[in-house]
Amino acid sequence: MEMGMDTSPSPSSSAPSSASSDSIDLNFLPFLKREPKSEPASPERGPLPLPAATPPPPLQVQAQAAATAASPLPATPDLSAAAVMTPLQSLPPNPEEETLLAEYYRLASLYLSSSAGAAGVIVPAPTPEASAGAVVQPGSGSAAKKRRPRSSELVRVSSLSVRDQIYFRDLVRRARITFESLRAMLLRDDERAEALGLTGVGGFGAVDRRRVRADLRAAALMGDRDLWLNRDRRIVGPIPGISVGDAFFFRMELCVLGLHGQVQAGIDFVTAGQSSSGEPIATSIIVSGGYEDDDDRGDVLVYTGHGGRDPNLHKHCIDQKLEGGNLALERSMAYGIEIRVIRAVKSKRSPIGKVYFYDGLYKVVDFWLDRGKSGFGVYKYKMLRIEGQEAMGSVNFRLAEQLKVNALTFRPTGYLSFDISLGRESIPVALYNDVDDDRDPLLFEYLARPIFPSSAVQGKFAEGGGGCECNENCSIGCYCAQRNSGEFAYDKVGALLRGKPLVYECGPYCRCPPSCPNRVSQKGLKNRLEVFRSRETGWGVRSLDLIKAGTFICEFSGIVLTHQQSEIMSANGDCLVRPSRFPPRWLDWGDVSDVYPEYVAPNNPAVADLKFSIDVSRARNVACYFSHSCSPNVFVQFVLFDHYNISYPHLMIFAMENIPPLRELSIDYGMIDEWVGKLTM
């Protein structure tokens, strides 16, 4: 099958295609259901305003400059591809309209996702083959795969409306969830294969113990389905849906998203042949810390060109040449083209020991040929960060590390409490306000665990046969695995593999030890959370730790009321959280239907119609201060572990994006209740 015939939806096009659904019923894709009926306006794009009058600065170094550099520049480099883009006819953004649109979109999102749930998006249980995932080859088959090459069309995406921003954020999140879910599935398959005595991906007879990297395989699966983003144009400047500060764990993921298209090289650029001015143009760089001559001061960065190094040793052995990415950076300087900068920072929270932060846009302001520490010639580029951007992810990361050690040194004022839980949480929860004199969260009793009504839990502790009989950590086939319809919900480091209607963790009636990997959310906080005051969202919550997507954050606590009690209390106008109102965002986590169209979200274990509510008016925990968003970074997963009454599950909150330190956590509450208004005003 030719890729051109592929029936899978292609998110790489900026507007949702009116995909002909030959063989795949697109209607069951939850994501597509949530899209607004009308096409989101495509981003306003325009030709790059290349300063025609800017003469190329005289090359200070006439090294081995490629012929193109030496030849005189055309007065106006004709980036013709950009020129045919829709001309800018943008009105100045109207804040009022933006707010209305945001509200409209929130409601549309709410309506569509909730109606989707009611209309039976949850289709029959996946076959074991489908849920095992990697054993099934994607439908298109890998035979005649022909990857669509990267386009050279150079565009800059600017002034996205609120609605577009949400649209692209969701698009990017979906791609990232697909990537991470595939990777997790492949890893799990590897482990199973190894447990069975088969080795790696080579299958039978493979001798090599080394696994084929799951990140590469996940990217390849997505590539076969044309699911890589932003391949139809080369974007200069910000990538829609990716914010300054976003965190990534794999180089391949950067390629999949189009943030940086080079698997290994640190400089990504449009080649001379592709650019109509005949010159290469750099668009992004990665500062990995691998080059000894780099000098990184944050806002000011001296970056070293690539090349000249021995492939095996990380030593320079010949002079660098002004070609490829090196020349492209120089050309970007001449034209004033902004460069995306991605920094690698060491982190124990990362599966690979480091994390890549998108730190925003820089401009090259100077370049020269220098003698590196090795004694060989290296090209150096002085880059300045463009002002007015969000704080850098790498800076926030370091600040948060310092705050964990000694908060008062870096924030002498503003802390109202270092632990509003008063020791009730496993990790302290700080309270910080440097905005006004509100101290509201201090006035409530901190309740780390919800209190269930006795009628709800009486006799429900050992319901359904009590716990498992495992003496060691639980494994596939044990009673608790069966409860979870044959598979455990978490991977070995405690990340949720995919969202489910309900997760059964091992509990007090299980024999397995506390180290059992099926005990995750019951153990409480693992991240340093902070309740903080902001001018935009009132009270909010942020983390000092980098939170990997899929990991547990905290429980939603309070005094649990029965249906009857809820009716009475809400009549009194009290603050009630209704679990049934959270849109089923868990459907998205683990969704790989873009790659495996046969994938459907699990509909087991079953959960009851939830009629209870949580009263947070007297006692509450940190979860109560999460801000609302229709494009949230956390979601609710229902979990049972201590009692087994399916009408009263715990509301456990998990990350659905990688959440960088100091970024606000946001959740989709569904309807905005009066209490949310009260809390966030």
Partner DNA sequence: GTTGAGTCAGAGAA
Partner DNA sequence: CTTCTCTGACTCAA
Residue 208 binding DNA, by CB under 7 A: yes
CB of 220 to DNA, least distance (A): 5
> Looking at 272, 510, 595, 600, which residue binds DNA (CB under 7 A)?
272
Comparing CA positions, the residue from 297, 358, 289 lying closest to residue 660 is: 358
> Looking at 106, 156, 173, 306, which residue binds DNA (CB under 7 A)?
306
Considering only the stretches 3-11, 106-114, 270-278, 524-532, report the one whose residues sit in contact with DNA under the rule CB under 7 A. 270-278
Residue 210 binding DNA, by CB under 7 A: yes
Q: Map tokens 């990995």 to a residue.
A: 288
How many chain residues bind DNA (CB under 7 A)? 51
CB of 351 to DNA, least distance (A): 5
CB of 654 to DNA, least distance (A): 22
Considering only the stretches 4-12, 81-89, 266-274, 536-544, report the one whose residues sit in contact with DNA under the rule CB under 7 A. 266-274
Residue 382 binding DNA, by CB under 7 A: no
Three-state DSSP class for residue 430: strand
CB of 451 to DNA, least distance (A): 42
Residue 584 binding DNA, by CB under 7 A: no
For residue 517, give every residue at least 6 positions away whose Cβ sits within 8 Å of its Cβ, in sequence order, or none. 473, 474, 488, 490, 491, 492, 494
CB of 514 to DNA, least distance (A): 25
Answer whether 9's CB lies under 8 Å from 594's CB.
Answer: yes
Residue 416 binding DNA, by CB under 7 A: no
Chain residues 123-162 in contact with DNA, contact rule CB under 7 A: 147, 149-150
Phi-psi region of 133 (alpha: psi -120 to 50; beta: other; left: phi over 0): left
Residue 250 binding DNA, by CB under 7 A: yes
Residue 176 binding DNA, by CB under 7 A: no
Long-range contacts for 347-355 (Cβ within 8 Å, ≥24 apart)?
A: 347/397, 347/546, 349/545, 349/546, 349/547, 349/548, 350/249, 350/546, 350/548, 351/249, 351/548, 352/249, 352/250, 355/247, 355/248, 355/249, 355/397, 355/546, 355/658
The single-letter code of the amino acid at 578 is R
Residue 264 binding DNA, by CB under 7 A: yes
Residue 549 binding DNA, by CB under 7 A: no
Our CA dihedral for 459, 464, 470, 476, rounded to 10 degrees, sits at -150
Residue 211 binding DNA, by CB under 7 A: yes
For residue 2, give every residue at least 6 positions away whose Cβ sits within 8 Å of its Cβ, in sequence order, or none. 144, 146
Of 269 and 552, which has the nearer Cβ to DNA? 269
Residue 290 binding DNA, by CB under 7 A: yes
Residue 373 binding DNA, by CB under 7 A: no
Question: Please, how many CA atoms are within 13 Å of residue 425, restricted to the half-sphere of its CB?
Answer: 29
CB of 280 to DNA, least distance (A): 6
**Binding string, residues 336-365; x marks residues near DNA by CB under 7 A:** ---------------xx-x-----------
Residue 649 binding DNA, by CB under 7 A: no
**Binding string, residues 312-341; x marks residues near DNA by CB under 7 A:** -----------xx-----------------
Of 324 and 597, which has the nearer Cβ to DNA? 324
Residue 216 binding DNA, by CB under 7 A: yes
Residue 266 binding DNA, by CB under 7 A: yes
User: What is the full DSSP assignment across 513-558?
Assistant: -TT-TT--GGG---S-EEEEEETTTEEEEEESS-B-TT-EEEE--S
Of 191 and 445, which has the nearer Cβ to DNA? 191
Residue 214 binding DNA, by CB under 7 A: yes
Strand order in 538-543's β-sheet? 415-417, 430-432, 529-534, 538-543
> What is the CA angle 351-286-659, rounded to 5?
45
Does the N-terminal peptide bond of residue 605 adopt cis geometry, omega within 30 degrees of 0? yes
**Binding string, residues 9-48; x marks residues near DNA by CB under 7 A:** ----------------------------------------
Considering only the stretches 235-243, 268-276, 410-418, 514-522, report the one whose residues sit in contact with DNA under the rule CB under 7 A. 268-276
Our CA dihedral for 359, 360, 366, 372, rounded to 10 degrees, sits at 20
CB of 520 to DNA, least distance (A): 21
CB of 290 to DNA, least distance (A): 5
Residue 526 binding DNA, by CB under 7 A: no
Please list the residues that pair with 423 across neighbouring strands: none
For residue 353, give every residue at least 6 positions away whose Cβ sits within 8 Å of its Cβ, in sequence order, or none. 346, 347
Please list the residues that pair with 354 across neighbouring strands: 346
CB of 313 to DNA, least distance (A): 8
CB of 462 to DNA, least distance (A): 39
Tokens describing residue 215:
């990140």
Residue 307 binding DNA, by CB under 7 A: yes
Of 249 and 669, which has the nearer Cβ to DNA? 249
Answer whether 382's CB lies under 8 Å from 301's CB.
Answer: yes
Angle at which helices 162-195 and 95-118 pack, to 10 degrees?
Answer: 40
CB of 664 to DNA, least distance (A): 27
> Looking at 269, 381, 452, 556, which residue binds DNA (CB under 7 A)?
269
**Which runs of E-coded beta strand occur in 428-543?**
430-432, 445-446, 503-504, 529-534, 538-543
Residue 450 binding DNA, by CB under 7 A: no
What CA–CA distance (Å, rounded) separates 444 from 428? 16
User: If 0-12 CB within 10 Å is exposed, 13-18 middle and 19+ buried, where does residue 400 land?
Assistant: buried
Comparing CA positions, the residue from 176, 233, 260 lying closest to residue 269 is: 260
Of 251 and 500, which has the nearer Cβ to DNA? 251
Strands 430-432 and 415-417 come out as antiparallel
Residue 413 binding DNA, by CB under 7 A: no
Considering only the stretches 56-64, 165-173, 301-309, 672-680, report the one whose residues sit in contact with DNA under the rule CB under 7 A. 301-309
Of 215 and 588, which has the nearer Cβ to DNA? 215
Tokens describing residue 478:
């044990």
What CA–CA distance (Å, rounded) separates 549 from 585? 14
CB of 192 to DNA, least distance (A): 13
Chain residues 460-489 in contact with DNA, contact rule CB under 7 A: none
CB of 266 to DNA, least distance (A): 5
Return the percent helix, strand and coil in the chain, to nearest 5: 25, 20, 55
Residue 205 binding DNA, by CB under 7 A: no
Considering only the stretches 103-111, 267-275, 521-529, 612-620, report the one whose residues sit in contact with DNA under the rule CB under 7 A. 267-275
> Looking at 63, 101, 220, 569, which residue binds DNA (CB under 7 A)?
220
Beta-carbon count within 10 A of 509 CB: 16
**Euclidean distance between the first and final Cα of the chain, in Å?**
56
Residue 271 binding DNA, by CB under 7 A: yes
> Looking at 273, 465, 486, 513, which residue binds DNA (CB under 7 A)?
273
For residue 602, give every residue at least 6 positions away whose Cβ sits within 8 Å of its Cβ, in sequence order, or none. 125, 126, 131, 485, 498, 499, 500, 501
- Number of helical (H) and strand (E) elements in the chain, helices listed first: 15, 26
Residue 301 binding DNA, by CB under 7 A: no
**Using CB under 7 A as the criterion, which residues of the chain lie in contact with DNA when the complex forms?**
147, 149-150, 190, 208-217, 219-220, 223, 231, 249-252, 255, 261-266, 268-274, 280, 286, 288, 290-291, 306-309, 311, 323-324, 351-352, 354
